[in-house]
Amino acid sequence: MKYLKQYALLTLVILLNISTLSAKSLNPGRKGGHEADIYSVLPFERCTEISELILLIHNNIDHPIGYFPGLRDAPHQDFTWRKHGHRVFFHWGYNANPQSSPILQELVAERNWTAAVQQSFWKKVVDEQARRNRESMATVGSTLGFQTSGAQRAYANAFASIITDIHLLGDYSTTNIVTLQNIDLIIADIKKALFESLRGGDDAKRINKLLDDTAKIEDVRLRAETALGILQREFPAFILKAQNGFFARHFEKKSLPLKKL
């Protein structure tokens, strides 16, 4: 609990400075952006391969800033995200069902479409999410050297989902958070990646307990920043020690630059 309080105190100071931001960008190579957040959690030093991977996943979350192609083709030409903007889409997490978004559910209900038109709208969204996920998974696989089928598919999924979840935690530092995925679901996704997908054993259980303890934090922005702080402190050493050093040896064979911990 003392450990959690230290994180909370530190992140409160940070939030006093950043919580008024209306948006958070990638800001490659600079402090304060999504790229810096992701590098602070991953076990890699900054390099071209990892930066390109981060950029691709970033674009699959944030782009296009307008409606994705085909979304408003008939019979959905009257769909609007109103004041909410692009975060209505693809800010629900790598493994989440798009229909888990309350805001998107509300916007669809406002159209008073028939059941068939609603169903075809959701199919568009699910298909686009699946396309983006396939692209992210393939890029994680090729960059980190994981097969995207068989046992290693779980590793690729874990890294794709963790990178996505770090982006979402970072977005919680901004003013417009109503469209973001529920933080309970984001943290649950991270916990699953650590224990199940990466087979992190007792060390994953320990980190997951720290993440569970963030539920005591009522301010959702502070909770998101505290969870990010836990990952920054814990994940690099965790992943390099996991499965008796499997990932460390694997990444060294791929000549990816690892942090010296």
Q: What is the pLDDT of residue 17?
A: 45
Residue 228 lies in a domain: yes
Residue 56 lies in a domain: yes
- A 10 A CB-CB count for 70 gives 10
Question: Looking at the predicted structure, is the pLDDT value of residue 235 above 80?
Answer: yes
Rounded to whole angstroms, the maximal C-alpha distance in the chain is 57
Of 93, 224, 223, nearest to 158 by C-alpha is: 93
Q: Length of the chain, please?
A: 261
Residue 25 lies in a domain: no
Residue 27 lies in a domain: no
Residue 92 lies in a domain: yes
- Point out the least confidently predicted range of 115-124, 142-151, 184-193, 239-248: 142-151
* Number of structural domains the chain divides into: 1
**What would the pLDDT profile of 148-192 be if each residue is shown by its tens digit?**
888 899 999 999 999 999 999 999 999 989 999 999 999 999 999
Residue 260 lies in a domain: no
**What pLDDT band is residue 23 in, cutting at 50, 70 and 90?**
confident
Higher pLDDT, 149 or 75: 75
Residue 54 lies in a domain: yes
Q: Calculate what percentage of the chain has a pLDDT beyond 90.
A: 88
Q: What is the pLDDT of residue 71?
A: 97
Domain that residue 56 falls in: 2-20+33-253
Question: How buried is residue 243: exposed, middle or buried, by Cβ count under 10 Å (0-12/13-18/19+)?
Answer: middle
Residue 216 lies in a domain: yes
Question: Looking at the predicted structure, is the pLDDT value of residue 12 above 60?
Answer: no
